[in-house]
Amino acid sequence: MREDRHEFESLLEDLADGLPSDEQVRELRDSLRTSADARSRYVQWQMLNAALTMESGSLPIDDSGPPTVVPRSQVPRTQVPGNTLAAAAHRFTWTRALAIAASIAFFAIAIRWAYLELETDAEVVQQGNTGEVMIDQEPTSRGIALVTRLVDATWDDSRSAVEVGDALTPQRLNLKSGYAQIEFFCGASVVLEGPAELELISSTSASFMSGRLRAQVPPAARGFEIDVDGMKVVDLGTEFGVSVSPEGSDVQVFDGEVELHRSNQKTQLVRAGQGYAHESGSLSETQIAPDDYVDLAALDDRARNQTDSRFSGWREYSRQLREDDRLIAYYAVDQTDRWQRKLQSSMIPENRELDGAIVGAQRVAGRWPGKGALEFKHPGDRVRVNIPGEFGSLTFACWVKIDSLDRWYNSLFLTDNYQRGEPHWQILDTGQLFFSVRVSRQQGGPQHKVALSPPFWNPTLSGKWLHLATAYDVDSKTTTHYLNGKLLSRESIPDHQLVETTRIGMASIGNWSVPTKPDEHFAIRNLNGCIDEFTIFSAALTADEIAEIYELGNP
């Protein structure tokens, strides 16, 4: 880093005059990484550069689109007296302030990009001369219905397999067995009992081909309709059941009224307590049998039984896991006392030295009722741990519920100092898993090898429990990311960036480091969400082992 301000300004001028050398780029990046003053002066220099460009007439102010930055080499040198920042500032006038404000967003993005480059140790990317700023679009989501409950559900094929919380687009669902609760955006709720086949058409309509379903349609969703066996069932604000078999169909109304529409036939009104069978194009009245159709209350009972069973199965698995001799650290987060500020280690034999200290983070409900988790919301929230020893391969795994990715880097687990052999595990604001092990602090050397997964998170997953795992394998020289028990990505580690001896020491779950002085600033990397069950192994777990952890822990 160039400590002398005059030398730093000279570096900026050299960069402005033409293509920078690799050494100049490296010096600038090091300065921006290590010096808050350098970052401030860099932004000031960019603003002044824009002001000079606008004064020269090279940068027209156009409110119809994003600002465009013109290379400084296109500005006449005579307009920069003395060719220094001080002289350039002399030409800055407050009449340009509003115009420069329009460019501030661009500079913030430039700084953000530079920091990402520093973390990933990527090559410098030369951007085009247009300098166009891409404005993020408002997040959107496609869908007409939500999956809100699944009980012992299995699907006929992978194309129709869905999970709780999924937003469903128009599609066909083939439920092989079990139960699925689907809530349409219009407000109608449907309990589907397998085997069954249902096609979602819109937020107010569906087509039912086979099986049994029960629909609850409040007044606000009146008009919801289901096509079944050549007729249309139009709800008038009610609760009804429909079954379809090779012999025909059956419609039963348990509350309110529905209309049956058939081609070239008079509309048939069906009231509460009535049922009609439809066979060979004709209707005949039948007795209703409400108990044959699972309603929302009965499905809730079945769901609680399933939840209790899965929670019991996980607790047995957790007891066995505690004795795994490959464990470095294990936090089951099975305490629920809100006042308790110690995160107990769950390993056997007990080692109270591995207990974590909860700072700011709050105890909340976890994946099951009666199961705890930790919520990270504020910039200071974290769990402090100290994990001594030296290791080789590593596997990190945890259950996480992400509310949003507010930070450039959202911490899962970060060592304090990031010395040689220390790992960093976090999520980028792009929704990518990030893992690295420090190689060296030597300037210009291979500082670390970052393994980035493809983007896996988007706002539709907000508030949904996900299982994340990353295996750092010294023997195979690979880093592998997993999402919900499935391979997300695998990346090779070059020999010169492979670290065979890893270590952890002081670290934070859900955040990064602590201030070392009373007035020290710290990077804000806290996770915005919850963590439930955090595990570190001194081995690279196989894909089958990761899948088993997910299956046994999936709520």
- Lowest average pLDDT, out of 44-58, 123-137, 156-170, 461-475, goes to 123-137
Q: How far apart are the first and last CA of the chain?
A: 51
Average pLDDT value over all residues in the chain = 81
Sign, Cα dihedral of 9, 11, 15, 17: positive
SS in 3 state form for 281-344?
CEEEEECCCHHHCCCHHHHHHHHHHHHHHHHHHHHHHHHHHCCCCCEEEEECCCCCCCCCCEEC
Residue 446 pLDDT class (50, 70, 90 cuts): low
Average pLDDT (361-378) is 92
Q: Angle at the Cα of 486 (from 484 to 492), degrees rounded to 5?
A: 125
Q: Give the pLDDT band (50/70/90) at residue 68.
A: very low
CA-nearest of 543, 516, 526 to 413 is 526
Q: Residue 278: is its pLDDT beyond 50?
A: yes
> Is pLDDT larger for residue 129 or for residue 401?
401
555-540-316-165 Cα dihedral, nearest 10 degrees: 0
- Range 451-481 burial, b when 16+ CB lie within 10 A, else e: bbbeebbeeeebeebbbbbbbbbbeebbbbb
Which amino acid is located at 483 in the chain? L
Residue 90 DSSP symbol: H
pTM of the predicted structure, to 2 decimals = 0.69
User: Which ranges constitute the DSSP H helices of 417-500?
Assistant: none
Using pLDDT thresholds of 50, 70 and 90, give the confidence band for residue 349. confident
Q: Under DSSP, is residue 345 helix (H, G, I), strand (E, B) or coil?
A: coil
Higher local confidence (pLDDT), 354 or 131: 354
Of 393, 443, 448, nearest to 426 (Cα)? 448
- In terms of DSSP bridges, do strands 231-235 and 257-262 run parallel, antiparallel, or are they unpaired? antiparallel
pLDDT at 548: 96
Give the pLDDT score at 147.
94
State both tokens at 543.
């894909």
Q: What is the DSSP letter of 29?
A: H
Instruction: With a cut of 70, say whether residue 72 has pLDDT above it.
Output: no
Chain center to CA of 336: 25
What is the pLDDT at residue 516? 54
Domains and CATH numbers, the chain: 5-120 (no CATH), 145-294 (2.60.120.1440), 304-553 (2.60.120.200)
φ, ψ of residue 226 to 5 degrees: the values are -130, 125
Confidence of residue 129 (pLDDT cuts 50, 70, 90): very low
| Residue % of the chain over a pLDDT of 70 | 72
DSSP for residue 137: P
Q: How many CB atoms lie within 10 A of CB 56?
A: 15
pLDDT over threshold 70, residue 73: no
pLDDT value for 65: 37
Q: Which of 214-223, 310-319, 516-525 has the lowest mean pLDDT?
A: 516-525
Specify the higher pLDDT residue, 340 or 426. Answer: 426
State the pLDDT at residue 93.
44
Predicted pLDDT of residue 139: 56
Give the lowest-confidence range in 33-47, 163-177, 192-206, 414-428. Answer: 33-47
Could you report the per-residue pLDDT of 13-63, keeping only the tens digit for each?
Answer: 666 555 556 666 667 776 776 676 777 777 666 665 655 444 444 444 333
What are the beta bridge partners of residue 145?
A: 168, 184
**Quick one: tokens of 481?**
């990311």
Band the pLDDT of 445: cuts 50, 70, 90.
Answer: low
Could you read off the pLDDT of 220-267 as tens digits, one per residue? Answer: 999 999 999 889 999 998 899 999 999 899 999 999 999 999 988 899
Who wins on pLDDT, 524 or 527?
527
